């Protein structure tokens, strides 16, 4: 399984869960931002 951290460095369950939650929350934030930016780019015909 591919993990976003070295497998032999963080070997307790709490740290592993915390890092995975941080990783996936950043992915969600990135795609929400990209979706909002694309929405603003495609709906700019009201201003002109």
Per-residue pLDDT reduced to its tens digit, 3-48: 766 777 767 788 888 888 999 999 999 999 999 999 999 987 766 5
* The pLDDT value given to residue 44: 73
Confidence at residue 46, expressed as pLDDT on a 0 to 100 scale: 64
CA 12 to chain centre: 23
CB-CB contact of 20 with 4 (8 Å)? yes
Q: What is the pLDDT of residue 10?
A: 67
What does the pLDDT read at residue 14? 84
What pLDDT is attached to residue 28? 97
pTM of this structure: 0.61
| Calpha distance 40→19 (Å, rounded) | 32
């Amino acid at each position: 399984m591919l993990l976003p951290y070295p497998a032999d460095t963080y070997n307790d369950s709490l740290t592993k869960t915390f890092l995975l939650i941080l990783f996936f929350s950043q992915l969600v934030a990135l795609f929400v931002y990209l979706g909002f930016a694309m929405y603003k780019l495609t709906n700019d015909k009201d201003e002109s």
